[in-house]
Each structure stands twice: as structure tokens, then as C-alpha cells.
Amino acid sequence: MEHEDQQDAFGRAGTGPLAGVVVADFSRVLAGPYATMMLADLGATVIKVEGRTGDDTRHWAPPRRDDDATYFLTANRNKHSVVLDFKDADDLAAAQELARRADILVENFKAGGLAKYGLDYDTVKAGNPGIVYASVTGFGPNNPQPGYDLLIQGLSGFMSVTGSEESGPVKAGVAVVDVFTGLHTTVGILAALAHRKDTGIGQHVETNLLSSALSGLANQTSAYVAGGVVPQAMGNAHPSLYPYQPMPTAQGQIIIAVGNDNQFKKLAEVLGHPEWAADERFANFADRNVNRAELEPALIAALSMRTNQEWFDILTEAGLPCAPINTIAQGVDLASSLGLDPVAEAGAGGRVIPTVANPIGLSETPVSYDLAPPTLGESTETVKAWLRGEE
């Protein structure tokens, strides 16, 4: 079922590819809200259900923008906030009616936590057979233990390959497992929507943080699963490529990313040592990996003749992949200079919030940024009136 007329009722133009699709968002923190923001950017009407004190991330500050925690702003644009207390009979009835009328429901309660409210998949499906119901858990449907990104970074092995022998295990500088899981959830939802379009049948989409972390570890997990090798922390070095890491120069560091033997040959020429590419110790991937301890001092010596900026200019001109190590501010500025428009102003009129742009480009149905991240409960009365049929 699609609800083209819902867009006007909640203040959106409804021009995206998911226009008319109603999402009941019972998630909070990051993985679930990130997924529902992706859907909202694509035009879906997302009704974010919050408790009396709101999503936890409303209180995760500093930093702030005015009174808003920037963490909350990260994943909640283009949504309508409604406050519902499940312990209140009328509010619970409203939540159940929302689930009945929605096309998609996303929740990240503890496994089985919504059953007592009649908002679990089986109950919702009974009244709404076409529902695409997405559950995000920490450890799967049979384990009620709460999952937090940091815990999963440790449990999955992610931290064991991040950092160096000297530093010991180090977490990523962002909640990367939550982001992995949010994206996996979005993909699952879109697949289920495609299936429903063909069959009219909804389904239960299940993702969990641990499985997403193991998938997101990609070649590192595969090293163990397919090769029987347990990866170890290597600092900024790569287990399979060399040189593929930051290298010191006369001033600062430069990242050099050699992805094939031809690139290494060109690098050797630019650095004034073409003989390296003919040396049987360094000529191909496998040999460079085995003999990196012999090659590295020579590389560092050659790079010490110029600064990181000088080498960046020279290597870039030669078509070799390289980069400085930027701050996030410099990263945003770089994207701006390349015309990538990394900042999107979300909202209109009196409330406009700068947010990080959605990275998906669609030529016919581009993403939109109609609504700023909502204040707590700002759409409660409008949504309740809609649920009562007072449109």
C-alpha cells in the first residue's frame, strides 16, 4: 500500500523514489535511525516514535548546535517526531495503529522487547500482512543482550586489527559498526520492498551488529574464514599490499597507496630508483610483502628529500595514488573544492540545520532535505490526528 497523500499531511513534497511510503521508526541511537534517515532522504515519510525524554542521542553532547546535540542531528533529518508512552493506553493504541498503517517498521529494541506491547513482527503482520518489518539487534533474535558499537568492535575482532603492537587494540574514531548495520538494514528493507511490489507480501528483515561487523571486516574476516589466518594489528600498514600506508617525509607524512606492480614501477622511477622495480625482492606483490623490512628504509630515505606537500604534488602529477592526512574540516573543504557538495541544508523557513549530505546520486529522483532534524514531539498532535483519520 502506498500513501501519496500523506506527504502533504506531514509537510513534505513527496518527490523522491520512496514518496508515499510510510515508515514507523521505533529505533534510536544510530544504526536504526541511520537506516530510516536513508529512507527519508529518498522521499519516505518517516514518523520517529520517541519516549518522554527522547532518543538517547538527544542528550549525547557536547558538541552542540544551539540546543541540539550534533550526534542526534547526524541521523534524524527529514523525520517527524511523535512522543508516545507505551505505558499509556491511548499512546500504545496510537503506536499500534501506526504499525498497522505503515509500509515499513524499523525497531532496535532488545530481541523480543516489543512483544509485550503487541508491536512484535507476528502481531503487526497479522493486522498488516504487507508490512516490511526490520529488526536491528546486537547479537541476533535469540539473544536479548543489548549491543553497543564499542562492545561489538571488541567482540568481533575489529579492535584487534586496529592500532599497533605498541598501542594495543584501538577502537575506530566513529561508530563504524552502527553505520555498517544501518546500511545493511537499508539494503534489506529495499530488497523486501522490491519483493513486495512483485508479490504483495511483506517480510521480516533482520540485521545484527555482530554479523554486520564481521561482514564489514571484509578481507580481514576472510583471511580467517578462507585462509585460516588470524589477522593481527599492523598499525597503518596493510597485510597484503606494500607500500600502502603513511610514510614520513622531510616534513609531515604522505599516504602512498600502491595497488599494483605497474604503480610500484612508476613510484620507483619518480623517487629516482627505477632499479627497485627490477629487484627480485620487490618486483611483485608477494615479494614486496615478504621483503618490506628491506624496502622500507630505502623508501623513507628517498621521501626524506622533500616535504609531504611537495611529494603530493609530484606523485599526483605522475598519476600515483597518494594523499595527505587531513583533519575532518580539511576533508569537508576538499570535498567542497571538488564540487561534491558535502554539506546539505536540511529544512526550510525558520529552522534550517547544516547536515552531512547523502552520498547517493540519483539522476531522475534525487534525494531531498525538506525537514530539519525534528525537535522532540513536534509532530505529535499532527500524527495523532492523522491516525484518528482527521486528515
Domains and CATH numbers, the chain: 6-217+341-387 (3.40.50.10540), 244-326 (3.30.1540.10)
pLDDT higher than 60, residue 364: yes
Full-model pTM: 0.92
Q: Find the distance separating the first CA and the last CA of the chain, reported in whole Å.
A: 18
For residue 357, the 8-state DSSP code is P
Instruction: Name the CA radius of gyration of the chain, rounded.
Output: 25
Distances (CA, A) of 63 to 50, 68, 74, 76, 274: 22, 9, 12, 16, 50
CA–CA distance, 157 with 163 (Å, rounded to integer): 12
Comparing 36-40, 268-272, 277-281, 349-353, the range with the smallest average pLDDT is: 349-353
330: helix, strand or coil: helix
Write out pLDDT tens, residues 129-181: 999 999 999 999 998 888 999 999 999 999 999 999 899 999 999 999 999 99
d(CA 248, CA 304): 7
**Within a 10 A sphere around the Cβ of 349, how many other Cβ atoms?**
6
- Is residue 102 within 8 Å of 127, Cβ to Cβ? no
Active site residue 198: no
Q: What is the pLDDT of residue 82?
A: 97
pLDDT recorded at residue 112: 86
The answer to whether the beta carbons of residues 133 and 123 sit under 8 Å apart is no
The catalytic position among 41, 91, 178, 370 is 178
pLDDT value of residue 224: 97
- CB-based contact 356:342 (threshold 8 Å): yes
Decide: residue 244, CB within 10 A, 0-12 exposed, 13-18 middle, 19+ buried. middle
* 129 vs 123: CA distance, rounded Å: 10
DSSP state of 124: H
Of all residues in the chain, the percent with pLDDT exceeding 90 is 89
76-122 pLDDT, tens per residue? 999 999 999 999 999 999 999 999 999 999 999 988 899 999 999 99
Residue-wise pLDDT for 112-133, tens only, equals 899 999 999 999 999 999 999 9
Residue with cell 554479523: 211
Cβ partners under 8 Å of residue 241, min gap 6: 257, 258, 259, 285, 289
